[in-house]
Structure 1
Amino acid sequence: MELQLWDAFRETLPPAEHMDEIRGKNKALRHPGTCSWVFEDEAYLRWENETNTTLFCVGPPGVGKSVLATAVIDELKKSESLVLFLFCENDTQQMDYLTGSLIRQLLAQVDSEKDLGLLDNVGRNIGQTVLRTLLCHRSTSRNPGRASVSLVFDGLDRIDLEVSRSLLAFFSSLRDEIDIKIFATSTFPASLTAGEESVTTLPMLASNADLTEYITYHVTPPGSLSRPEHTKFYDDIVEATEGIFHVASRIVEILSPMRTKFEFQQFLRHWTQEYRHLDHVFNDLIKPRTKRLQSGLAPNVINWLTFSHRTLTTLELRHALVADISEYLRAPPELDEITLALHGIVMIENEPGWQSIRFFHSALHAYFRHKRDNEAFKIQDKIVSYCLRQLSRVSSSDGFCESDEDFEERLRHNPFFLYAACHWGYHTQACSEPVPAALRFLDNHASVEMSSQAIFIEKASSDAAGYTRRVPRHVTGLHLAAYFGMHGAAEELLNEGASLSSVDTQGQTPLWWAARFGQDKIVRLFCRSDTTTLSLLMMAKETNLIRILLRAKYKVNTPDASHDTPLHHAVRRGLVETVGDLLSAAANTNMQNMGGETPLGIALNNSNQEIIHLLIGKGAYTDFVNTAKFRKAFHWQDDQTLEIFRDDRTTVLRLKPSERRHFDEWGQSERFSLQQKVLRDIPFPPQLRESIDNLQIEELNLEIIESRDNDSHINYYVEAFMWNSPSNDEPLPCEQLVLCWDVYQEKQTQQWYTKAHFTTMPHIWLPDNGAVFLRHFLVHVKHTWLAYCEANLVDLHLRKRIIGSKGADPELLDHLLENGQKWLSHRHKLSKVALKIRNFAKAYCLKHNETGDLEELIEAIDELSAAVGKKLGELDENSRDLIQLECNLVSIKEARESVNSSTSMKRLSWITFIFLPLTFIGTLFGMNIDILDETKPAWWTYIPFAAVTSLMTSVVWLLFQFTEVGSLTISLSVYTVRADHKR
Structure 2
Amino acid sequence: MSFGFSVGDFITVIELANKIRKEFVDAPSQFRAISDDQIITETKRGVDQLNQNQDDQERNIILDWVTTIDHASQQSDFINRRQAGTGQWLIDSEEYQAWVQTSKRTLFCPGIPGAGKTILTAITIDDLTMRFQSGADIGIAYLYCNFRRQDEQKADNLLASLLKQLSQERTSLPDSVKALYKKHKDKRTRPSFDEISRTFQSVVAMFSKVFIVIDALDECQTTDGCRTRLLTEIFLAQAKSRVNVFATSRFMPEVMEKFEGSITLEIRASEEDVRRYLDGYMFRLPGFVSRSTDLQEEIKTGIVLVVKGMFLLAQLHLDSLIGKRSAKAIRTAIAKLPTGANVYDCAYDDAIDRIEGQLQDQEELAKQVLSWITCAKRPLTTLELQHALAIEVGDYELDEENLPQLEDMVSVCAGLVTIDEKSGIVRLVHYTTQEYFERTQRRWFSKAEKRLLSK
Scaled by the length of structure 2, the TM-score of the pair is 0.54
Q: Within the alignment, does 1:150 sit opposite 2:207 as a pair?
A: no
Q: Within the alignment, does 1:46 sit opposite 2:81 as a pair?
A: no
Q: Is the 8 A contact 1:55 1:183 kept in 2?
A: yes
Secondary structure of residue in 2 paired with 1:258? coil
- Residue identity over aligned pairs, in percent, reads 22
Q: Is the 8 A contact 1:55 1:201 kept in 2?
A: yes
Q: Is the 8 A contact 1:6 1:119 kept in 2?
A: no
1:104 maps to which residue?
164
Q: Is the 8 A contact 1:102 1:131 kept in 2?
A: no
2:146 maps to which residue?
89
Q: CA deviation at 1:251?
A: 2.5
Q: Within the alignment, does 1:277 sit opposite 2:350 as a pair?
A: yes
Partner Cα separation in structure 2 for residue 111 and residue 52 of structure 1: 24
Taking a change above 3 Å as real, the CA distance of residues 207 and 182 of structure 1, as seen in their structure-2 partners, is same
Alignment counterpart, residue 235 of structure 1, candidates 281, 289, 301: 301
Amino acid in the other structure paired with 2:65 = T
Q: Is the 8 A contact 1:241 1:248 kept in 2?
A: yes
Alignment counterpart, residue 213 of structure 1, candidates 273, 276, 283: 276
Partner Cα separation in structure 2 for residue 68 and residue 190 of structure 1: 22
Partner Cα separation in structure 1 for residue 281 and residue 332 of structure 2: 19
Taking a change above 3 Å as real, the CA distance of residues 237 and 271 of structure 1, as seen in their structure-2 partners, is closer
Q: Is the 8 A contact 2:166 2:203 kept in 1?
A: no
| Pairs within 5 Å for 1:119-158 | 119-123=177-181, 124=183, 126=191, 127=193, 129-130=195-196, 132-134=198-200, 136-137=202-203, 140-141=206-207, 143=208, 148-158=209-219
| Pairs within 5 Å for 1:602-617 | none
Amino acid in the other structure paired with 2:146 = E
Amino acid in the other structure paired with 1:170 = E
Q: Is the 8 A contact 2:67 2:160 kept in 1?
A: yes
Partner Cα separation in structure 1 for residue 319 and residue 202 of structure 2: 47
Taking a change above 3 Å as real, the CA distance of residues 107 and 209 of structure 1, as seen in their structure-2 partners, is same
Partner Cα separation in structure 2 for residue 130 and residue 104 of structure 1: 10
Q: Which has the higher contact order (CA 8 A, sep 6+)?
A: 2
Residues 878-908 of structure 1 deviation map (CA, whole Å, 9 limit, x = unaligned): xxxxxxxxxxxxxxxxxxxxxxxxxxxxxxx
Taking a change above 3 Å as real, the CA distance of residues 46 and 246 of structure 1, as seen in their structure-2 partners, is same
1:58 maps to which residue?
110
1:12 maps to which residue?
65
Amino acid in the other structure paired with 1:70 = A
Residues 349-400 of structure 1 deviation map (CA, whole Å, 9 limit, x = unaligned): xxxxxxxxxxxxxx99xx89x95999xxxxxxxxxxxxxxxxxxxxxxxxxx
Q: CA deviation at 1:224?
A: 9.8
| Pairs within 5 Å for 1:805-816 | none
Partner Cα separation in structure 2 for residue 288 and residue 199 of structure 1: 36
Q: Within the alignment, does 1:248 sit opposite 2:309 as a pair?
A: no
Alignment counterpart, residue 121 of structure 2, candidates 29, 52, 69: 69
Q: CA deviation at 1:262?
A: 1.6
Taking a change above 3 Å as real, the CA distance of residues 32 and 131 of structure 1, as seen in their structure-2 partners, is farther
Secondary structure of residue in 1 paired with 2:140? strand
1:265 maps to which residue?
331
Taking a change above 3 Å as real, the CA distance of residues 99 and 137 of structure 1, as seen in their structure-2 partners, is closer
Secondary structure of residue in 1 paired with 2:75? helix
1:377 maps to which residue?
none
Residues 801-832 of structure 1 deviation map (CA, whole Å, 9 limit, x = unaligned): xxxxxxxxxxxxxxxxxxxxxxxxxxxxxxxx
Secondary structure of residue in 2 paired with 1:140? coil
Partner Cα separation in structure 1 for residue 256 and residue 301 of structure 2: 40
| Pairs within 5 Å for 1:408-807 | none
Q: Is the 8 A contact 2:302 2:335 kept in 1?
A: no
Partner Cα separation in structure 2 for residue 137 and residue 275 of structure 1: 46
Q: Is the 8 A contact 2:142 2:162 kept in 1?
A: yes
Taking a change above 3 Å as real, the CA distance of residues 202 and 275 of structure 1, as seen in their structure-2 partners, is closer
Secondary structure of residue in 1 paired with 2:107? strand
Residues 525-575 of structure 1 deviation map (CA, whole Å, 9 limit, x = unaligned): xxxxxxxxxxxxxxxxxxxxxxxxxxxxxxxxxxxxxxxxxxxxxxxxxxx
Q: Which consecutive unaligned segments of at least 5 residues does structure 2 have?
A: 5-54, 185-190, 339-345, 355-366, 378-431, 444-455
Partner Cα separation in structure 1 for residue 78 and residue 349 of structure 2: 26
Q: Is the 8 A contact 2:217 2:255 kept in 1?
A: no
1:163 maps to which residue?
226
Partner Cα separation in structure 2 for residue 183 and residue 154 of structure 1: 8
1:907 maps to which residue?
none
Q: Is the 8 A contact 1:152 1:184 kept in 2?
A: yes
Q: Is the 8 A contact 2:67 2:157 kept in 1?
A: yes
Root mean square deviation of aligned Cα: 3.9
Q: Is the 8 A contact 2:141 2:162 kept in 1?
A: yes
Q: CA deviation at 1:72?
A: 0.3
Secondary structure of residue in 1 paired with 2:265? strand
Partner Cα separation in structure 1 for residue 347 and residue 260 of structure 2: 47
Residues 839-872 of structure 1 deviation map (CA, whole Å, 9 limit, x = unaligned): xxxxxxxxxxxxxxxxxxxxxxxxxxxxxxxxxx
Amino acid in the other structure paired with 1:217 = G
Amino acid in the other structure paired with 1:73 = I
Taking a change above 3 Å as real, the CA distance of residues 138 and 236 of structure 1, as seen in their structure-2 partners, is same
Partner Cα separation in structure 1 for residue 440 and residue 154 of structure 2: 32
Q: Is the 8 A contact 2:82 2:119 kept in 1?
A: yes
Taking a change above 3 Å as real, the CA distance of residues 152 and 219 of structure 1, as seen in their structure-2 partners, is same
Q: CA deviation at 1:179?
A: 1.3
Secondary structure of residue in 1 paired with 2:246? strand
Q: CA deviation at 1:10?
A: 3.4
Q: Is the 8 A contact 1:47 1:53 kept in 2?
A: yes
1:27 maps to which residue?
79
Partner Cα separation in structure 1 for residue 374 and residue 442 of structure 2: 21
Q: Which consecutive unaligned segments of at least 5 residues does structure 1 have?
A: 292-362, 375-983
Secondary structure of residue in 2 paired with 1:150? strand
Amino acid in the other structure paired with 1:254 = S
| Pairs within 5 Å for 1:956-971 | none
Q: Is the 8 A contact 1:156 1:191 kept in 2?
A: no
Task: State the aligned residue count.
Answer: 289
Q: Is the 8 A contact 1:60 1:187 kept in 2?
A: yes
Give 1 or 2 for the bigger CA radius of gyration: 1
